[in-house]
Structure 1
Amino acid sequence: MSGYLLRRTGQSVVVLAGVSVIVFALVHLVPGDPVRLALGTRFNQETYDALRERSGLDLPLLQQYVSWLGGALTGDLGVSFRSGDTVASLIGERLPATLTLAFASILVALAIAIPLGTVSALRPRSVVDRIATVFSQIGISVPEFWMAIVLILVFAGTLGWLPTGGYVPLTEDPAGWLQRLILPAVVTGVVSGSVITRFVRSSMLEALGSDHVRTAQAKGLPARQVFTWHVLRNALLPLVTVTGVQLAYLLSGVVVVEIVFSWPGLGQLALQSVQARDYPVLQGAVLLFAIVFLVINLVVDLLYTAIDPRIRR
């Protein structure tokens, strides 16, 4: 296990190094001058030259990359051109909201997908199976912003049960935190749950039709034991994979949902930095997204070895 972990960690480091080069290059290919945009109507040539020199934009690109990478390795991601705050502090301010929405959404998705997909696979062509199929099609096809607007109109506008949006930290107002979390978590949870439901159903059907399951049934093992030890465990691999992908996607910021519900997450921060050509913030945010995907992929691979020990070999 330790050797496998070391190999996967080494591969992740190499991938992260490549991502850092690509991110830095793509960000600097975005048209527009961030210093000019930051100055706005206060522009004058002396201030402009001084800010470019202070931010290091007058240096060659290779030297800028080396300087940025060296700072990133020590936790210094630079300073925002727009606000003057450190990138680490800006990301730290948005991180709690992103973590809250991501984990609440994945819990909603799993609460929908696992029972619905399982019952659908155990009873193919039944009413439940048809409901699961229709639900997954609707959840995948309907745009997130439309679903969000409908829920706001119904539960906030018509019924008045929930606020239209915003974010309150859990430590300040637990009730307000929960009320503002419900609608965005349901929207993103339904979309992710629709995807996961289809994977749960297909993986369950494949496991139910395998030879070892039929052999266990022929031996007269109880149905619950066959399902737990032979069906569920073999169906977990696809479920773990798609859940990891959905969680990484949610942790990277759901931009549309964050904008509709005024949710101050990392996705909204990345969008604002693109609009303002705020290189340091955009580079820091995208680098964090890459780290999130790599870490979750590593965790998923380790879970694979726990579920199916044959993968270690």
Structure 2
Amino acid sequence: MLRRAGQSLVVLAGVSVLVFSLIHLVKGDPVRLALGTRYSQESYDALRARNGLDLPLVEQYFRWVGHALTGDLGVSFRSGEPVTRLIAERLPATLTLAFAAILVALAIAIPLGTLSALRPRSLTDRAATVVSQIGISVPDFWLAIVLILVFAGTLGWLPSGGYVPLTEDPLGWFQRLILPTIAVGVVSGSVITRFVRSSVLEALGSDHVRTAQAKGLPGRQVFGWHVLRNALLPLVTVTGVQLAYLLSGVVVVEIVFSWPGLGQLALQAVEARDYPVLQGAVLLFALTFLVINLVVDLLYTRIDPRIRR
């Protein structure tokens, strides 16, 4: 754990250097964009000095990193609010959509992939393969638009977008969550289905499974103790990657459904050249991937005792 945590810190440091360097290569003056019609030379110079943009790039980087280590990600050029507060305001919406979508994805992938593997080359297997291939091929934004047209426009069953906090209106929160969850969950579930099928097939063909079957163990016991546990490792890996991707913000789906998540915040920061917000968001995305990868490694040791040895 200590070794992996140390590696994660090194990766995070490298990501911070890359993020800071690449953002400052983007053309456009963020201060000029932030001031807009309020532009004057005095306000321009004052805003640059307040955000340290008049300092050398190396000094700007170490100043930013030093503040980030204390939880201070800077102040937005556009709104003047702390970046930490902006991210905290968007985080609940992103967490809600990500975890709801991954639950839908697993609810689709585990039974569909398992049935497909238990009956290879059957009609069920072919149907599952076609369905998962369609889900992988269809863009999530196109599926989102179709869902809005059908369920919000034609049938009028659900709202077309927006977000309501759970504490304010539980029913409205749930209704607005359904369509974006389906749009994201179906695509992720199609990806995970292929991994479940291949993992279960590989586990079914292993020697210890054939030995258990030869001993006359019940089929449910063989599947639960010998097949499923060995098939969990690839499933945990791909689920972790998909969850990290969702937590990093599904930008296009968030825009289609007017979902105020981190992806939409990062896109708005790119358009406005809002360096502090963009740097903070990307750093959080990198940290999310690192933490989830570390959690996946820890789950490996619980699922497969051979890794502990």
- TM (norm. structure 1) is 0.98
Is 1:58 aligned with 2:73?
no
Amino acid at match of 1:283: Q
Equivalent residue number for residue 117 of structure 1: 113
Structure 1: gaps spanning 5 or more residues? none
Aligned residues: 309
Structure 2: gaps spanning 5 or more residues? none
CA–CA distance in structure 2, aligned partners of residues 175 and 146 of structure 1 = 26
Is 1:32 aligned with 2:28?
yes
CA–CA distance in structure 2, aligned partners of residues 30 and 215 of structure 1 = 61
> What are the residue-to-residue correspondences of 1:150-161 with 2, within 5 Å?
150-161=146-157
> What are the residue-to-residue correspondences of 1:19-168 with 2, within 5 Å?
19-168=15-164
Using the TM superposition, name which of 213-222 and 249-258 deviates more.
213-222
Is 1:253 aligned with 2:234?
no
User: RMSD over aligned Cα, in angstroms?
Assistant: 0.7
1:197 aligned to 187, 193, 196, which one? 193
Amino acid at match of 2:201: L
1:306 aligned to 272, 289, 302, which one? 302
Shift of 1:130: 1.5
- The 3-state SS of whatever aligns with 1:29 is coil
CA–CA distance in structure 2, aligned partners of residues 131 and 244 of structure 1 = 26
Amino acid at match of 1:100: T
1:213 aligned to 209, 213, 229, which one? 209
Is 1:266 aligned with 2:262?
yes
User: 1:137-191: CA deviations, max 9, x gaps?
Assistant: 1111111111111110100011110000000000000000000000000000000
Is 1:11 aligned with 2:7?
yes
Q: Report percent identity of matched pairs.
A: 85
Shift of 1:31: 1.0
1:174 aligned to 148, 165, 170, which one? 170
Shift of 1:127: 2.1
Amino acid at match of 2:247: L
User: 1:97-134: CA deviations, max 9, x gaps?
Assistant: 00000000000000000000001100112222122111
Using the TM superposition, name which of 187-196 and 142-151 deviates more.
142-151
1:234 aligned to 230, 254, 261, which one? 230
2:272 aligned to 272, 276, 283, which one? 276
CA–CA distance in structure 1, aligned partners of residues 109 and 127 of structure 2 = 12
Equivalent residue number for residue 285 of structure 1: 281
Amino acid at match of 1:117: G
Amino acid at match of 2:142: W
Amino acid at match of 2:49: E
Displaced runs of 4+ in structure 1, greater than 3 A?
none
- The 3-state SS of whatever aligns with 2:24 is helix
